[in-house]
Structure 1
């Protein structure tokens, strides 16, 4: 059963987007959860029968009937609204407290009018307090109700016949408390799961944007430097490089948009071609296969991201003259003859490392036997 509280959890409820609340409301278990509370209203038949069968002045019968109707309406309204977040947001934060105050006042008035026959209202009031109001207030309220019930049934002769209400009330409160605690834990777990999903999505977008822009901008810089050198030596070739820079920039912009939208998928064949072009633009001799068929199809997307980051690092940091890419069904190796030596992993390597580990593989980066750096991914 959902509930609306005046003090606890209100910030989380108001901070939730309207779309989330509306989506939750579509769940039948949420939409009809109030029936679990109202089904117990069948026991309201006892005060109703007492009004019908016990001789009283007409005004007392009318007053008692009115109190039962109002009590029932407040009780049902509380649970119906609390299970519909979109409607609950339209009400002030104090509305559950006002409903509880009305329930307590009507319970006291009904007991004063009908005696033992109306003591069942205490159970409904306890349920309202425990499930719809802040926990501290609920504990105080049910404590007062239990104490008042015990005092009436043991000290006031008129209520001697109502002693059986006390164990029923205590059992009901214990059950409701367990329900409340379990629901609180469920809500906390749900909030934590949503926050973890949000963090994971942010990391995915950051990782993808880094991989996309890091590679694209590195190639753009390399081509810009090449075009600058060719301006005087070969103007036509320089114009060709500038046209490719423009095309690469547009592609990078489209890739960033697709990444943010969650649509970006790296393709190993495309990345092999892009690696060859990037190495050539940087003046590095590249030995790059052009066919990804040797790679297990399940590994290609991950290896595409790894290849993009590895080639970007070779172009940007290695100072290499040659770079070799080897592919196998469950292996990728990228080695160069550049500076080598230990390098602290940056955001790019950390990102591809996370991708590889998530896919069940292992990423290692170490110094190549003949000098330079060797990156290897294996399964």
Structure 2
């Protein structure tokens, strides 16, 4: 009796009015009223010599049609926007009134009145509040069965019982499927929000972790140089000012989802940061050999790996190498030595995993500080 959209929900009246099904769904609900022509024909045949009764009975069928469409659509609106007392009164009151019309027609047209039961089952299945559809459909089917059991022509008319059963069962199944789909969509939206929150947290960590590390290094250097080389100290302070402005812009871009990392820029930034930290660096020159589809991910990995080297490794030398779909950062620092990975490496694993790649962390260049660390990323 209704498409799957019949049980969709919207959070407000505004969403209701914007939904095409909410505004024009009455057409799809009303199209089934064509089947009322059969009880109408039965009424005309049984009242051929009683024009007043014919007019009253046909008027009752028109009233039944109006109650069906009104109750159906009012229930749909309430399912979208929330149930109020008026909604309950219209839907349940209209349903009971329509059922009364069907029962009143039994003495006149006999078992043919059961042809109205599918409409009642449709309203119950599609437009009743939660927990009411199933018992209401069962009640409609039971009522139709009792009506048919009272007729002498049960053997000929018993197939009429399948109509309310079929339509009611289909409506209940469709409603359950759509409810499951709604719950799935809610979960998907929740996961999307969580993923976006994780993205912002990861990007902010990468941006601030790298920028604050470099700022701290340059501030220490400026403090040492301020008495012996004021001009160079001023240069370091100017770099700090430029870096903080750049970081602020990157944070804003990160929050808006517009920020991307460029491999060439990250290489230069890594070279500067390692030099300021007093770490010997070997960096590749040709970024064009990296697959353009992987450059953003490799740039992020380079930034975070260099930040980790400066902040945690105590290394004296770092070697960076890359290829079309891989990056390797090796240092001679103290290594992990069984320690738990920090948020930086965890963020790297998430970012690389989202790109379909894998990351390996193992011992690097053995040195005085320890076994070193080697971080290798392979992308598909």
TM-score range, shorter chain: 0.7 to 0.9
Describe how 1:355-370 pairs up with structure 2 within 5 A.
355-370=351-366
Deviation at 1:128, TM superposition (A): 0.9
TM superposition shift of 1:314: 1.0
Q: Which residue of 1 aligns with 2:126?
A: 131
Match of 2:348 in 1: 352
Q: CA deviation at 1:80?
A: 4.7
The answer as to 2:71 corresponding to 1:75 is no
Whole-angstrom CA distance in 2 between matches of 1:263 and 1:94: 48
Distance 1:70 1:245, change over 3 A: farther
**Does the aligned pair in 1 maintain the 2:359–2:376 contact within 8 Å?**
yes
Q: Which residue of 1 aligns with 2:202?
A: 207
Task: Tell me how far 1:355 sits from its aligned partner.
Answer: 2.0
TM superposition shift of 1:147: 1.6
Task: Structure 1: state its 5+ residue gaps.
Answer: none
Distance (Å, rounded) in 1 between the aligned partners of 2:16 and 2:204: 32
Equivalent residue in structure 2 for 1:251, among 227, 246, 257: 246
In structure 2, relative to structure 1, the CA distance for the partners of 1:231 and 1:298 (3 Å cut) is same
What is the correspondence of 1:1-379 to structure 2 with a 5 Å cutoff?
1-3=4-6, 13-14=10-11, 21=15, 25=19, 35-55=27-47, 60-61=53-54, 63-80=56-73, 88-89=80-81, 92=84, 95=87, 98-113=90-105, 114-116=108-110, 117-155=112-150, 163-342=158-337, 343-370=339-366, 371-379=371-379
Query: Taking structure 1 as reference, are residues 355 and 88 closer, same or farther at Cα in structure 2, changes over 3 Å only?
Result: closer
Q: CA deviation at 1:268?
A: 0.7
Alignment partners' CA distance in 1, 2:67 and 2:101: 15
TM-score normalised by length of structure 1: 0.84
SS at match of 1:136: coil
Aligned Cα root-mean-square deviation (Å): 3.3
Distance 2:69 2:13 in 1: 26
Please say if residues 115 and 159 of structure 1, whose CA atoms lie closer than 8 Å, have aligned partners that are also in contact. Answer: no
- Flag structure 2 segments of 5+ consecutive residues without an equivalent: none
- Shift in Å at residue 77 of structure 1? 4.0
- Residue pair 1:119, 1:162 contacting (<8 A) in 2 also: no
SS in 2 for 1:286: strand
Instruction: For residue 127 of structure 1, report the CA deviation from its aligned partner.
Output: 0.8
- Distance in 2 between residues matched to 1:332 and 1:163, nearest whole Å: 75
Aligned partner of residue 226 in structure 2, secondary structure: helix
For residues 84-142 of structure 1, the C-alpha deviation after alignment (integer angstroms, 9 at most, x for no partner) is 79x94387376266313312222213431454343322211111111122453111111
Secondary structure of 1:377 counterpart: strand
Q: Assess if the C-alpha contact under 8 Å between 1:209 and 1:259 holds in 2.
A: yes
SS at match of 1:232: coil
Shift of 1:82: 6.4
Q: 2: distance between equivalents of 1:179 and 1:68? A: 28
Q: What TM-score does the superposition give when structure 2 sets the normalisation length?
A: 0.83
Q: 1:327-357: per-residue Cα shift (whole Å, max 9, x none)?
A: 2223211122222243321222112112222
Count of residues in correspondence between the two structures: 367
Distance 1:310 1:24, change over 3 A: farther
**SS of corresponding position for 2:315:** coil
